[in-house]
Amino acid sequence: MESVLSKYENQITIFTDYLEEYPDTDELVWILGKQHLLKTEKSKLLSDISARLWFTYRRKFSPIGGTGPSSDAGWGCMLRCGQMMLAQALICRHLGRDWSWEKQKEQPKEYQRILQCFLDRKDCCYSIHQMAQMGVGEGKSIGEWFGPNTVAQVLKKLALFDEWNSLAVYVSMDNTVVIEDIKKMCRVLPLSADTAGDRPLDYLTASNQSDELIFLDPHTTQTFVDTEENGTVNDQTFHCLQSPQRMNILNLDPSVALGFFCKEEKDFDNWCSLVQKEILKENLRMFELVQKHPSHWPPFVPPAKPEVTTTGAEFIDSTEQLEEFDLEEDFEILSV
C-alpha cells in the first residue's frame, strides 16, 4: 500500500512547476483576494503563501472512532483541503487578511487557538476525526475519499459561523465549461477564501491574470503533532516553507468548491451583487442566487455543536446567534 501511495504522490508534480521558476513579468498575482506584483514583490508573495496554514496527510494519530485508521494517507486529501479553507476563514476573521507568519516567531494567542482546532485529535473541533465521522451522515464511510461538495457539507455541519456572526460561503460546481468564470471569480471577488478541487492538485490558493494557479498540496504524509507541555503547538510543519507549486488552470479537475469569506452581512450583500454583475450575467451559469429558499428543498437547519466537548468549540456559534445572520432573508446559493 505504501509503495502505491508513494507512486501516486510522485505523480503529483507532473503538471506543476515551482514559483521560483516563474517568468519575470509585470503581471499581478492574486493570493486569496490580495494582489502582488510578481516582478517587484516576489518575496512578499512567497511570505504571504507561507503564512497560510497547510494541512497534509498525517500518520500516527489516535485511531478514528477508536478502532479506525490512524493515518489519512491516500483518502484524506479533500478533508485536509477543507481544513485549509476553514482555517483561512478563521484567520481572516480573528487575525485579519494582512496578518503574517514568520518562522520561530511568537504568534498571537488567537493563532494558537485556531491551529489547535485542527489538530488530529477527536477532541479538536475541526480535526480529521470530527470531519471523517461527520461524513458518515453524508454517506461516506470513515477512510473513504470525499469529494468537494461532501467536504463543503461537512464544514457546514461543523459550523461555518463563528461567535461574531461571520460567514464562509462555499460554492460547489463542475468546472468543465466554466474555466473563464472561475478565473474571474478568483480575481474579481475580493472576499475570496480558497479553492478546493479534486485529485491530484487539491488546494488552490492563488490565481494570477494568466492561466495559472498557485497551490498548496496536501499529498505529503507527516507525523502527528500534538500540543506541547506549555500549551502551544510547534507549527513548523503546518506551513509550507518550500517554494509553492503552480499549475495551468486547464489541468484543474472537473469538480471544485470555491470558498469566500464574509466578515459582516454587508460583505455578503456585496458578494451577491458582484456575483450577479460579473458572474451570473452569462447564459451558462455555474450556480444561481435566489431570494427565497426553494420550496422543494428541505428546511434550513443551522449547524449544531458537536455532541462531544471539543477544543476550540468557542469558534462555533449558537443557534440563537446564527438567526441574527439569516441567509434566507438575503439569497440562497444553488449549485449546478
pLDDT recorded at residue 200: 32
Which of the residues 48, 77, 81, 240 is marked catalytic? 77
Contacts of 156 (CB under 8 A, 6+ apart): 170, 303
pLDDT recorded at residue 264: 83
Comparing 47-51, 181-185, 301-305, the range with the smallest average pLDDT is 301-305
What Å distances lie between residue 291 and 89, 177, 331, CA to CA?
25, 26, 5
pLDDT recorded at residue 247: 80
In the predicted structure, residue 333 carries a pLDDT above the cut 60: no
Of 121 and 198, more confident: 121
pTM, two decimals, is 0.81
- For 172-185, what is the mean pLDDT? 62
- For 75-92, what is the mean pLDDT? 91
In the predicted structure, residue 329 carries a pLDDT above the cut 70: no
Q: How many residues does the chain have?
A: 336
The 10 Å Cβ neighbour count of residue 142 is 18
- For 248-275, what is the mean pLDDT? 82
In the predicted structure, residue 53 carries a pLDDT above the cut 60: yes
Of 259 and 163, more confident: 259
Of 32 and 70, more confident: 70
Which of the residues 36, 94, 129, 219 is marked catalytic? 219
Q: What is the DSSP letter of 182?
A: H
With bands split at pLDDT 50, 70 and 90, how would you rate the model's confidence at 137? confident
Which of the residues 120, 217, 240, 262 is marked catalytic? 217
Structural contact between residues 289 and 276, judged by C-beta atoms closer than 8 angstroms: yes
pLDDT recorded at residue 80: 94
Range with top average pLDDT, 21-35, 214-228, 303-317 = 214-228
In the predicted structure, residue 73 carries a pLDDT above the cut 90: yes
In the predicted structure, residue 5 carries a pLDDT above the cut 70: no
- For 254-260, what is the mean pLDDT? 79
Q: Is 219 a catalytic residue?
A: yes
Q: Is 186 a catalytic residue?
A: no
C-alpha cell at 93: 476573521
Q: Is the dihedral of CA 86, 196, 174, 76 positive or negative?
A: negative
Q: How far is CA 257 from the centre of its chain?
A: 9
Q: What are the boundaries of each domain within the chain?
A: 1-169+204-260
Comparing 2-11, 109-118, 280-289, the range with the smallest average pLDDT is 2-11
pLDDT recorded at residue 322: 36
Q: Is 267 a catalytic residue?
A: no
